[in-house]
Structure 1
Amino acid sequence: MTAEPNGYPAQVSIESRECSPQLLERLIGATLFPERLVGSAIINTVCRAGGRLLYVTAPPMLEADQQVDYYLGLPGGGHDSGRARVHMVSLDDATSRWLSEKVLDPENPQAAQVREVIREFVDRERRNGADVRLSYFEPSKPLERFAQALGVPGNQSRSPHIPLGTKHAGRQLFTSVGIDVPAGTGPCRNTTELAEEVARMRLSGHRTVVIKLNSTAYGGGLGNALLDLGDLVPPGTHDDAALAEQVLAALPQATLVDTKITWNDFAGMIEESGAIAEEWVEGGAARSPSFQGRLTDEGGVEAVSTHDQVLSAHSQTYTGCFFPASVEYRRTLIDYGLRIGRALLEQGVDSGDYGVDFLAMRTSAGWRLLGCELNLRATGTKHAFTTVTGLLGVSATEDGRLLIDGSERAYEASDSIMDPRYVGLRPTQLIRAVAGSRLGYDPTRKKGVVLHMMSAVVRYGKFGAVCIGENQAEARALMRSLRELVNGLAEPQASNGVLIG
């Protein structure tokens, strides 16, 4: 048997989403979020680079062998050659704790066994000359310590930099590099301070504000609330104190993006983390483009991708995206994103993913971008983009496109293809249906549908997909057809009364 060449990649993936534990309890299928990157990891590390992968989940990925074979087969040429180089390791823990907590739990014998498997994998691959790394989703103190104990580098920025991802710090960074931001306040530590600051915004003419918890623990807009100030008429005397009392009384009527909590819950979170308020930009802010970048090991900044995000829940919550972002503002998006990356370097951040969200406003002079949020971590767009580029074998061009043999590729991605009728479907059913239809990814044509996060369909009726076409119209058509296909799968099941508790 021929030995693998020295320097091949070996990756341990513990894709722990380390947001608020209470938020994870409320998000549908959140305990399965770490599965989102398994397809990308298999395609890029094993199929594309000829390396080895150890991927950790908790709870176990459903029908894991079939899912692994599905991803191994997507590039073409079958999956037999790569099967021995993919190792799935799991814990029987379906709680909403962080995956890192589950793996590093000192009281759980199964966690100790998983850690031993990881150490054996790292030691074996390192002896064989591999470039071994620990992959995780965001800066993480526990995983940082674990990587140090293993003697391998992690792939995200160091945990002391986490505060740079707060809402107020992001606004400061935007303005420091010449990027406009919506009108807003500094950090407020309680509802009284918040009411005083919002009253000043009302006196300045703002009729609606979005309140944002000043924390990195509430991703996807779920730490936000909308407050309509239209009924609060500033007194003619400009009595700030009187107006602040009106605002304070109105705060409990704010519309919370996270519908599973109360205003009292939200007010308690303000006490814990602070909050800012920003003007609610209406009308022209019809789009929410985002930039994804990376700080390289060599101390540089690279533009990775751009997307137009698909948002729900009062245009606050991420559910999917289109690649690439509109050509109307894509170059500005890339320029602004690189400015932020260089500013992060100046702040001492020297590695890892970062994402920058914007509001796109159409004006008489063209599109204007306002800085919205900075995410010092991977974002929800990463698994789709890395899956697609791994399958195509290309990176984005300088102007943010994907070209293969002179032909462009675009895609639509969603993490929220969801319907109560899908409850009880199995990952293998989705795989067989898509692979057996005209929709499945074709490695020759470099187009089609790729599934992800399939374990969530059984209990939650939810899964994800990325639909790759020659343009966004074709990608949208593939997504519509995929929904129709799965609706057809669900109908016989619904008529038979299948219910999974």
Structure 2
Amino acid sequence: MQALDITNSQEVDQFRQLQLTLCDRWKTIELFDNSDADILVIPSLSIDQRELAKVEGCEHYEERLLFSLIRLRNPRTRLIYVTSMPLHPSIIDYYLQLLPGIPFSHARNRLLLLSTYDSSLKPLSQKILERPRLLQRISQALRLNKSFMTCYNATNLESELSLKLGVPLYAAAPNLQYWGTKSGSRQIFAECEVPHPDGSDRMWNPVDLAEATAHLWERQPDLKRVVIKLNEGISGEGNALLDLRPISEVAPPNSSHEQRITAILDCFQTMRFQSSQESWENFKGRISELGAIAEAFVEGEIKRSPSVQGRITPSGDVEVLSTHDQILGGPDGQIYLGCRFPADSSYRLKLQQLGLKIGQNLASKGALERYGVDFITVQKEDGEWDIQAIEINLRKGGTTHPFMTLKLLTNGRYDLSTGLFYSQQGKPKYYIATDNLHKSRYQGLLPNDLMDVIAHHRLHFETGTETGSVFHLMGCLSQFGKLGLTSIGDSPQEAEDIYNKVTKVLDVESSSSPENLSAFPDYSTPMSWEEGSSHW
């Protein structure tokens, strides 16, 4: 990615001063969440584009922040949502029809959809900056004294966009993003005295990385496996697993340090990469560009991967939002597929404590808004859980949209004393969510087809019972056969049953013969839709 670098100290100071206006305008969490505000949503995935390309259907991941449209349930909220390519109208209709008690037309009139009409692999924020007329249109639509900008992650691109528009960015500043890298996370854990696996600092070439791995192995002679991580990989796609057991045959315990380094270097070429698209030749080049760390692989028969999410408010307060048990896949269970809310009761309160401690450290460094911390838990012989912190995400992640969907739809509350989320009626709510309901048989299903299936089989979210499924990444469906959903229930089992019903129905409908589809209405007459027609 060709980043636009803001290094001028005057511009850095201007950006910080602009962010400080957030605190002046919204002094409490309640005011911030329920105020009269214009929200500019820039769902740009401003990360290394070659790493992003490992995620199938990544070009549609700008849709993951569409949960923000549910904020229009506040009749005083106005929202601008910008994308690289126009969104299918039925996707927008789907979200607006979720709003309880708000007429569709009222919500639609407070929403402005804009697009760059640029499907290239450049980050969305860069595309916007390259279009001065689009910038002007965004600026004219905003009430600057009541506006803020939110994004997927903050880089120099988002910082420059914030300055050009004069709109404060509610996210950790670009110069703080290091704390969300693999090496930065390890430094935070050490400062907070949070347990984490033994590992190395960031290395910039295979030889130094092999030497760091050798040192790690010598500190832990019984170590079986090591995870090699690109410093800025996402969703586990930048990880590789190095098995030390075959190497020990070539470099036994009495080998010299240099012999071990040589053996490890040779075995880097046969590491098991978590991304099916990865190779050693490419990975080697990425080490010199992004850096990489070596980290002890946490072994265990009963092992889980929970996470905690929090946010840092403009006033500097730290709020724990949620805990999850992550659903992982890939060759060695390191690829994020989905999550269950909440995390297991045997460790979720401890996760909250550790997450709060890490959030306070981040707040002291000046971080803002969303952060998440991933852990590994292993059950010991006495039944207790050993908890190890793995990494920090200073961005919105795979657990952000399902939890915010639940919160915004129910207007409920998270209870720190139990780690549960309660609706306004006092019912605890649970969900299972995924970005990766992914089957080749789903390819060819259009968004309108999905709407037909949802309506026919009553798969939608019921506002009366506050249970059902909410879908996202619908733009991925036709080309990639990939879909996201959050299935919400009043118990973990009900949430799972709702999720399983969706998968069973989609399996049947995606294999239906044409005669079985005759019950669905004919949408051959196209819907008229003028992009950006609502201009306030």
Considering the TM-score relative to the shorter chain, is it more than 0.5? yes
Cα shift at 1:91: 2.3
Matched, 1:86 2:111: yes
The 5 A counterparts of 1:321-400 are: 321-346=339-364, 348-365=365-382, 366-398=384-416, 399-400=418-419
Cα shift at 1:285: 5.8
The 5 A counterparts of 1:171-186 are: 171-186=186-201
Cα-to-partner distance string for 1:330-380 (whole Å, 9 max, x where unaligned): 01100000100111122x224121110000111134012101001111211
Of 36, 42, 45, which aligns to 2:69?
42
Cα-to-partner distance string for 1:152-192 (whole Å, 9 max, x where unaligned): 21110111111112212211211221211112222222111
SS at 2:269 equivalent? helix
Cα-to-partner distance string for 1:283-331 (whole Å, 9 max, x where unaligned): 2462111111111111111101111111111211111111111111001
Gaps of 5+ in 1: 1-5, 106-110, 497-501
Matched, 1:141 2:161: no
SS at 2:82 equivalent? strand
CA contact (8 A) 1:185 1:278 kept: yes
Of 91, 99, 112, which aligns to 1:67?
91
Q: What one-letter code is carried by the residue in structure 2 that aligns with 1:89?
A: L
CA contact (8 A) 1:435 1:441 kept: no
SS at 1:302 equivalent? strand
CA contact (8 A) 1:284 1:360 kept: no
Aligned residue number for residue 40 of structure 2:
12
CA contact (8 A) 1:30 1:96 kept: no
CA contact (8 A) 1:103 1:114 kept: yes
The separation in 2 between residues aligned to 1:280 and 1:176, in whole angstroms, is 21
Cα-to-partner distance string for 1:259-285 (whole Å, 9 max, x where unaligned): 212101101111222211111112246
Matched, 1:103 2:118: no
CA contact (8 A) 1:291 1:307 kept: yes
Aligned residue number for residue 270 of structure 2:
253
TM-score by length of 2: 0.85
Aligned residues: 474
Matched, 1:409 2:435: no
SS at 1:206 equivalent? coil
Aligned residue number for residue 209 of structure 1:
226
The separation in 1 between residues aligned to 2:182 and 2:100, in whole angstroms, is 44
Aligned residue number for residue 448 of structure 1:
468
Matched, 1:287 2:312: no
Q: What one-letter code is carried by the residue in structure 2 that aligns with 1:141?
A: N
Residue range with higher mean Cα deviation, 144-153 or 313-322: 144-153
Q: What one-letter code is carried by the residue in structure 2 that aligns with 1:69?
A: D
CA contact (8 A) 2:35 2:76 kept: no
CA contact (8 A) 1:48 1:390 kept: no
The separation in 2 between residues aligned to 1:392 and 1:13, in whole angstroms, is 22
Cα shift at 1:488: 2.2
Aligned residue number for residue 499 of structure 1:
none
Cα shift at 1:489: 2.1
Identity %: 32
The separation in 2 between residues aligned to 1:318 and 1:382, in whole angstroms, is 13
Aligned residue number for residue 131 of structure 1:
146
Of 58, 73, 78, which aligns to 2:84?
58
TM-score by length of 1: 0.91
Q: What one-letter code is carried by the residue in structure 2 that aligns with 1:142?
A: L
Cα shift at 1:115: 1.9
CA contact (8 A) 1:32 1:58 kept: no
CA contact (8 A) 1:11 1:52 kept: yes
Change (3 A) 1:274 1:26: closer
The separation in 2 between residues aligned to 1:265 and 1:229, in whole angstroms, is 22
Aligned residue number for residue 520 of structure 2:
none
Aligned residue number for residue 482 of structure 1:
502
Change (3 A) 1:115 1:322: same
Q: What one-letter code is carried by the residue in structure 2 that aligns with 1:34?
A: E
Cα shift at 1:82: 1.2
Residue range with higher mean Cα deviation, 458-467 or 274-283: 274-283
Q: What one-letter code is carried by the residue in structure 2 that aligns with 1:333?
A: L
Matched, 1:192 2:197: no
The Cα RMSD (Å) is 1.9
The separation in 2 between residues aligned to 1:11 and 1:443, in whole angstroms, is 25
Aligned residue number for residue 134 of structure 2:
114
Cα shift at 1:474: 1.2
CA contact (8 A) 2:54 2:237 kept: no
SS at 2:386 equivalent? strand
The separation in 2 between residues aligned to 1:188 and 1:82, in whole angstroms, is 50
The separation in 2 between residues aligned to 1:264 and 1:188, in whole angstroms, is 17
Aligned residue number for residue 293 of structure 2:
276
Residue range with higher mean Cα deviation, 399-408 or 157-166: 399-408
Cα-to-partner distance string for 1:84-129 (whole Å, 9 max, x where unaligned): 1112111222222211112112xxxxx333222211111xx34xxx
Gaps of 5+ in 2: 1-33, 517-536
SS at 1:444 equivalent? coil
Change (3 A) 1:228 1:49: farther
Change (3 A) 1:321 1:76: same
CA contact (8 A) 2:171 2:367 kept: no
CA contact (8 A) 2:153 2:395 kept: yes
The separation in 2 between residues aligned to 1:377 and 1:42, in whole angstroms, is 19
Matched, 1:469 2:489: yes
Matched, 1:169 2:184: yes
SS at 1:95 equivalent? coil
Aligned residue number for residue 431 of structure 1:
451
Q: What one-letter code is carried by the residue in structure 2 that aligns with 1:306?
A: T
